[in-house]
Amino acid sequence: MDSLPQVLKAYCDAWCAEDADERRALLDIAWAENGLYQDPGSEAQGRESLHAHIGRVLARFPGARIEQISGVDAHHDRIRFAWHMVLADGTVRVQGIDCGRIGADGRLTEIIGFFGAHPPEA
């Protein structure tokens, strides 16, 4: 996992890339061809599906960017890290944590995202 920081940078940068070709190139670095992305409101299976999903998010929030706001906790082929979405005016729209899996080639094969703060204990 020596390249994990570069893979995560490319992944987060893809979420900021309004240019479709730039976004595709970043996902080529970071995302497995058949990777699975899920968050509370969406699912994307495969690199092209994630590319399209990110494009829709950026169209809805022009100028927004995703920033990694924690280090990465990793063991075996699993990772987790925190992030937030910053809107063009500088306000934080949402924060979350992603749990994922890294493939043998170092690319992300799965990201399962959770939005907001941790839920309170019942």
- Tens-digit pLDDT profile for residues 53-106: 999 999 999 999 999 999 999 999 999 999 999 999 999 999 999 999 999 999
Domain parsing of the chain, residue ranges: 4-112
Q: In the predicted model, is pLDDT for residue 2 greater than 70?
A: no
pLDDT band at 1 (very low <50, low <70, confident <90, very high): very low
Q: How far is 76 from 61, CA to CA, in rounded Å?
A: 35
Q: What is the CA radius of gyration of the chain?
A: 14
- Tens-digit pLDDT profile for residues 25-56: 999 999 999 999 999 999 999 999 999 999 99
Q: How many helices (H) and strands (E) does the chain have?
A: 3, 7
The model's pTM:
0.92
Average pLDDT for 2-17? 93
Virtual CA dihedral for 55, 58, 59, 64, nearest 10 degrees?
Answer: -170
The CATH code belonging to domain 4-112 is: 3.10.450.50
The more confidently predicted of residues 16 and 1 is 16
Q: Which two tokens stand for residue 25?
A: 């190139």
